[in-house]
Amino acid sequence: MTDGVEVDPTRDTCHRCGGPLLLSVRIPHSITGRGGGGERFEVRGRRTVPLCARCDRDDPGAMGVIAFFTVHETISDETVQAAAPVLRQWIDEAVANPPVYTDADLDAEIDAWEAGET
């Protein structure tokens, strides 16, 4: 499910540890909700998925991309074929396993937004 994935050039710092990101992408997602009358509706949007060598080193879906960037500084015309399978695996994993947020996570995100940190 890599259709509609785009690189997010606006993020270069990990929100978890403050270190540099290897890559940040925006992927499509949707949420199904219910209106007041019980009708279902779908909300579509995008979410940013950052990749940090430090924070994501134990994530099996990210290991291939981290290894790629350990050997190659960037993706070039010569390395794009080698990068594609590990990028697809990482993105597919991110799509299949979206994060679960708690009320505390939402409160922290709102506080960060209000403070101008996001």
DSSP-H helix ranges across the chain: 63-71, 80-96, 103-114
Per-residue confidence (pLDDT) for residue 79, from 0 to 100: 92
CA dist., res. 99 & res. 118, Å (int): 18
Per-residue confidence (pLDDT) for residue 110, from 0 to 100: 86
Per-residue confidence (pLDDT) for residue 94, from 0 to 100: 80
Characterise 90 by phi-psi region: left (phi > 0), alpha (psi -120 to 50), beta (else): alpha
Adjacent-strand bridge partners of 46: 28
The edge-to-edge listing of strands for the beta sheet with 40-51 is 6-7, 23-34, 40-51
Per-residue confidence (pLDDT) for residue 93, from 0 to 100: 85
Per-residue confidence (pLDDT) for residue 95, from 0 to 100: 73
Ranges under pLDDT 50 in the chain:
1
The answer to whether the pTM exceeds 0.85 is: no
Per-residue confidence (pLDDT) for residue 86, from 0 to 100: 94
